Each structure stands twice: as structure tokens, then as C-alpha cells.
Amino acid sequence: MPQTHTKPNPYRRAEFLLSVNKWSQLPSDDAIEVAFAGRSNAGKSSAINTITDIKSLCRTSKTPGRTQMINYFSIAEDLHLVDLPGYGYAKVPLKVKLHWQNLLERYLIDRLALKGVVMIMDVRRPLTEYDCLMLQWCQKAQMPAHILLTKADKFKRGAAQNILLKVRQTLNSDYPGTTVQLFSALKKTGVDEAREKLDQWFYPPKED
């Protein structure tokens, strides 16, 4: 059953800010950013739209690789949600793939404003080669990562929980500190949990 949301959703304030495709175009590095990354067609745009509760914030497409820019959305002053280009089997030239691979690695490792990465993985095909590469970069940068296993509605609850358990075991072994949950944009499963993770990064407790 869909979850009942009682807390105000600060992410409904999200508005498109700008698109960039090279390092020099990135905005000032003194804000707070949380980035969404995922294999093409894993449900990244749908997840962002569901979490923000804005249906048309990110374009969704059945054609893999449509997101070829880094898209910035403003949540509040100096709070940015970042939609990274879909990776994997996008039908783009090798030169373009290498450009994005180099830019994404530098972004994850060198971007000071970045506080966490939400990784989108299709629950039916988690931890692909590209997913693991992104997790390796996050580990290298000591960047917190949280995984949404999307399209969880494709399985019955027990089967989905078994996949979640197996992924969590792999993460604990190979990518310690990485957290994971089930998510469904269709059924609104896991939306509150995902927002709570964003809250931890966007609104950390103030030190005394």
C-alpha cells in the first residue's frame, strides 16, 4: 500500500537552476549538493520526481541516455539537488562516454559542495559494472552513498526483501558504509526513507 506522508516535504520547492557539461560551468563550490546517479533507464528521473513530488521536474524517457547534462535544481538558497547523466549502455560515441566518465569521477572526488550521492539501481539488475565503478569512486572520495533499489513493485515483498538483503551483504563486504533501501515510484514505497536520508545531508544537526 502507498505510504502516508505526514511531514512537510521541503523538496517540493525544487526548481530548475541550470545545466552544465564541463567542470568550468559548475556553480560556486560553497553550497550543499546531493547528487543522483544511476544507469540509464534505472528510474532516476522518476525517483527524483517522486521524492520532490513534482511530476515534471525531470524528464522521463524510455530511451536510455537522454540525460546528457548535469542538471541542477535549487531546493533553497545554497541547497542544490543534482541530476547526473545516466551511465551504462547509452548509445553515445566513445569520446562522449570518456568525457562523462572523467567528469563524473572528478566531480565525485573533488567537488567540495557534494555531501552525498543517491545511487539509483533497478532492483532486477543491481550492482552492474558501472554501478560498482561509481561506488569505487565514492569510496575513494570518502563520499557517503545511499542506494535506491527502484521498481520494487516488480516483485512481491518477500522476493524484494531477499534482493535487498543480498545487496546489503555485498555492500557491507565491498563498499562499507553504503546504505540501501527498496523504492518504488509507482507505489510510493520508500519515499519517506529516501527523504530522511536527504535531510541528513541537506540539514545536518548544528554543532553546539
Indicate the average pLDDT of the chain. 90
Give the model's confidence band at 1: pLDDT under 50 very low, under 70 low, under 90 confident, else very high. very low
CA distance 108 to 208: 29
Give the model's confidence band at 100: pLDDT under 50 very low, under 70 low, under 90 confident, else very high. confident
* Residue burial 73-91, b: 16+ Cβ < 10 Å; e: rest: bbbeeebbbbbbbbbbebe
Q: Give the number of C-alpha atoms closer than 13 A to the C-alpha of residue 155, restricted to the C-beta side.
A: 18
Task: Give per-residue pLDDT as tens, 3-35.
Answer: 545 578 999 999 999 999 999 999 999 999 999
The CATH class of 10-202 is alpha beta
Output the pLDDT for position 90. 55
C-alpha grid cell, residue 205: 544537526
Domain boundaries, the chain: 10-202
Q: Give the number of C-alpha atoms closer than 13 A to the C-alpha of residue 58, restricted to the C-beta side.
A: 31
CA distance 183 to 157: 12
Output the pLDDT for position 51. 97
Predicted TM-score (pTM) of the model is: 0.92
* Residue linked to cell 545536518: 204
Q: Identify the burial level of 188 via C-beta atoms within 10 angstroms of its C-beta, where 0-12 means exposed, 13-18 middle and 19 or more buried.
A: middle
